[in-house]
Chains A and B, each alone.
Chain A
Amino acid sequence: MPKYGKEYQMSNGKSKFAWNNLPSETVTIYFEDAPCEVPSGVTVAAALLGHDDNHFCRSAAKQEKRAPYCLMGVCFECLVEIDGIKNRQACLEPVREGMHVKRQHTLVDEKK
């Protein structure tokens, strides 16, 4: 097995990714109401990527499980609910102490 820097474990599963040698300050965010300790300064997408079965939201039409594809704000496959607000692009949002993140399974209240 290759060696990595300090590996953080999120409390809700095992990640397919690891943080490589980040400073050790962490923040606690709530993912689906479960507290998770993640390095401060990372994006919500990075904090959640690769956990459990890996999905962030479901597709608008067919309800298929989806996860970040572009990580730069153009594919809209990383939509989550953050602090009660839907349709947030997880790849553009940095984590904040006490932030509540939920998977999003429908698009709502949206002029599109």
Chain B
Amino acid sequence: MKNSYDAIIIGAGPAGLACSAELANKGLEVALLDEQATPGGQIYRNITRTSSRQRTVLGEDYTEGLKVIENFEKAAPDYLPRARVWQAEPNGEVFLSHKKSSKKLTAQFLVLSTGAMERPVPFPGWTLPGVMTCGGMSNLFKDSSLAPTEPVVIAGSGPLLWLVAEHLFALNAPIAAILDTTPSKQYITSARHMPQALGRFGYLMKGVKMIAAVQLAAKKAKVPMYRNVKNIEAVGNEQLQSVKATCGNKQLEFAASTLLVHEGIIPNTALLRQIGCEHTWNPVQRYWHPEVNEHGATNLPAVFVAGDGTFVHGAKSAEYKGRLTAMAIAKQLHRLSKCEYKQQAAPVREQLHKELQPRPFIDALYAPRKDLFAIPDEATVCRCEGVTAGRIREIVAQGFSDHNEIKSIIRCGMGPCQGRMCGSAVLELVAERSGIPAEETRPLRMRPPIKPVSLQELANAQLEETDES
């Protein structure tokens, strides 16, 4: 590992892997940093070590990752797993914690490929042990081959919900109920994007087939399935005991020791915010995403963003985006002439466009429903500091609409997660109470260190730096 590079890529999912491989193949000095122990990101998590049994359950969409890994291993850029990046700067400095000590690396260009996360949506009881995300369950299976042995309820909306249900059926897990919260009317409102989506007919059919297969499996196993579900509630004393919900005027309740929730996927912007990338609001999916051009260039000349971090488009697109970013950087570093760049980027751009065709349809179908953040007053919103929806509404009613101010007054967003979990909800509560549209509010700032580092480690890191200079 050197101290300085042509480019440092942060995050070893499909975008980071493809980007670093492409750059290394062009003869550039590249380092790929990642907080996990093995490459793959969330989608291809643990792909280098999963058993054939795991791969069979996870299917083709997962084993696709083997090709990405193969290209990456051939190109062999410097790769540092288990590195927690806690600060990055627009001048190309990166501070990271690795094996109990912190150090600084520098590069001419930074590529932030930190991916996406599940949209955190507070509801009563969501802090109880036993409540997890669908993606979280999927990760447990990918990295540890774990499956629930006691009743599990799956609730929410989006393709990942069905995918996880499919896997759990394959694993014979005791599913107590599947609660789909997608409002039926979104099937109609999203239909206008259908013609464009049909450009990728095969892709759409795969999704349709997956959902049909889960429904069939549910029927066979007599697992209750409800549509149009609302008012999810986790009930229990210090751990989950049951899940309540409503469906039309029916009251539902299922005994369960695990509740898996999913309400869509949003870019993970923590590092992007900390470094100072400008963001734009997406009114359909209702999230902030960095303002980037087609190769991921941001408002900061040395900083690029690639993959789902730019906008959630899925694994294949992330790979293409990573490659396009690499080509743009290689051009700036004069490793590619204008003409070579054009030649090489054109086919990748075309593949990306094709991949993106069904996205407007999917984004509209699984848009966050209108009442998603109609959180009851008594529900906890900020998990770390225990701030309720009611308390946030009170503060907003007093005239505060900036999450940064709200944080300094009631500590909402001040805990270890630094607002990663409450950010989406606070934004929506502010919009609900003040009438100020989300895009006009000031997003929450992220201050370094954005990952836990002990004061001791910070002090030592600074010493190292002065020693060197």
Residues of A at under 8 Å CB distance from B? 2-5, 15-23, 39, 41-43, 45-47, 49-50, 53-56, 59-62, 64-77, 79, 85-87, 89, 91-94, 107, 109-112
Per the bound structure, the CA–CA distance linking A44 and B100 in Å amounts to 17
Interface pair A74/B417, CB less than 8 Å apart: yes
Interface pair A61/B385, CB less than 8 Å apart: yes
Q: Inside 8 A of B149's CB, which chain A residues have their CB?
A: 2, 4, 15-18
Q: Inside 8 A of A77's CB, which chain B residues have their CB?
A: 127, 383
Interface pair A23/B51, CB less than 8 Å apart: yes
Say yes or no for B77: interface residue by CB 8 A criterion.
no
Contact with A along B409-422 (1 / 0, CB 8 A): 00100111110110
Q: Inside 8 A of A47's CB, which chain B residues have their CB?
A: 144
Interface pair A70/B455, CB less than 8 Å apart: no
Q: Which of A45, A60, A92 contacts B384 (CB 8 A)?
A: A60
Contact with A along B101-114 (1 / 0, CB 8 A): 00000000000000
Identity of the chain B residue whose Cβ is nearest the Cβ of A22 in the assembled complex = B145
Identity of the chain A residue whose Cβ is nearest the Cβ of B45 in the assembled complex = A72
Supplied contacts A69-B421, A77-B127, 9 more A-B pairs, CB within 8 Å:
A2-B173, A41-B144, A42-B144, A54-B129, A55-B129, A68-B132, A69-B136, A94-B37, A112-B416
Interface pair B147/A43, CB less than 8 Å apart: no
- In the A-B complex, the 4 residue pairs with the smallest Cβ-Cβ separation, listed nearest first, are A46-B144, A71-B136, A67-B129, A42-B144
Interface pair A19/B386, CB less than 8 Å apart: no
Per the bound structure, the CA–CA distance linking A86 and B452 in Å amounts to 9
Interface pair A21/B145, CB less than 8 Å apart: yes
* Residues 373-401 of B contacting A (Cβ, < 8 Å): 383-386
Q: Inside 8 A of B37's CB, which chain A residues have their CB?
A: 92-94
Interface pair A71/B135, CB less than 8 Å apart: yes
Q: In the assembled complex, how far is the CB of residue B451 from the closest CB belonging to chain A, in whole angstroms? A: 8
Per the bound structure, the CA–CA distance linking A62 and B380 in Å amounts to 11
Interface pair B148/A16, CB less than 8 Å apart: yes
Per the bound structure, the CA–CA distance linking A17 and B146 in Å amounts to 6
Complex A-B: 18 CB contacts under 8 Å: A4-B147, A16-B150, A22-B144, A39-B144, A42-B143, A42-B144, A43-B144, A50-B148, A62-B386, A65-B238, A65-B239, A67-B129, A67-B239, A70-B117, A79-B452, A107-B415, A110-B455, A112-B416
Interface pair A74/B420, CB less than 8 Å apart: yes
Q: In the assembled complex, how far is the CB of residue A17 from the closest CB belonging to chain B, in whole angstroms? A: 5
* Residues 63-92 of B contacting A (Cβ, < 8 Å): 82
Per the bound structure, the CA–CA distance linking A49 and B35 in Å amounts to 21
Say yes or no for B291: interface residue by CB 8 A criterion.
no
* Size bracket of the B interface: 35 or more
Per the bound structure, the CA–CA distance linking A45 and B132 in Å amounts to 12
Known: A55-B129, A59-B127. A71 touches B140 (CB 8 A): yes
Q: In the assembled complex, how far is the CB of residue A79 from the closest CB belonging to chain B, in whole angstroms? A: 7
Q: Inside 8 A of A3's CB, which chain B residues have their CB?
A: 172
* Chain B interface helix/strand/loop/mixed: loop
Say yes or no for B370: interface residue by CB 8 A criterion.
no
Interface pair A53/B238, CB less than 8 Å apart: yes
* Residues 413-469 of B contacting A (Cβ, < 8 Å): 414-418, 420-421, 449, 452-456, 458
Interface pair A54/B416, CB less than 8 Å apart: no
Per the bound structure, the CA–CA distance linking A15 and B145 in Å amounts to 14
Interface pair A75/B139, CB less than 8 Å apart: no
Say yes or no for B171: interface residue by CB 8 A criterion.
yes
* Residues 114-141 of B contacting A (Cβ, < 8 Å): 117-118, 120, 126-127, 129-133, 135-137, 139-141
Interface pair A61/B384, CB less than 8 Å apart: yes
Identity of the chain A residue whose Cβ is nearest the Cβ of B221 in the assembled complex = A2
Interface pair A110/B146, CB less than 8 Å apart: no
Per the bound structure, the CA–CA distance linking A64 and B129 in Å amounts to 10
Interface pair B130/A54, CB less than 8 Å apart: yes
Q: In the assembled complex, how far is the CB of residue A10 from the closest CB belonging to chain B, in whole angstroms? A: 13
Interface pair B35/A79, CB less than 8 Å apart: no
Q: In the assembled complex, how far is the CB of residue B261 from the closest CB belonging to chain A, in whole angstroms? A: 9
Q: In the assembled complex, how far is the CB of residue B333 from the closest CB belonging to chain A, in whole angstroms? A: 31
* Residues 234-257 of B contacting A (Cβ, < 8 Å): 238-239, 257
Q: In the assembled complex, how far is the CB of residue B429 from the closest CB belonging to chain A, in whole angstroms? A: 19
Q: In the assembled complex, how far is the CB of residue B316 from the closest CB belonging to chain A, in whole angstroms? A: 20
Per the bound structure, the CA–CA distance linking A45 and B449 in Å amounts to 23
Interface pair B127/A19, CB less than 8 Å apart: no
Known: A70-B117, A71-B132. A111 touches B458 (CB 8 A): yes
Q: Inside 8 A of A39's CB, which chain B residues have their CB?
A: 144-145
Q: Inside 8 A of B144's CB, which chain A residues have their CB?
A: 19, 22, 39, 41-43, 45-47
Say yes or no for B285: interface residue by CB 8 A criterion.
no
Q: Inside 8 A of A49's CB, which chain B residues have their CB?
A: 140, 146
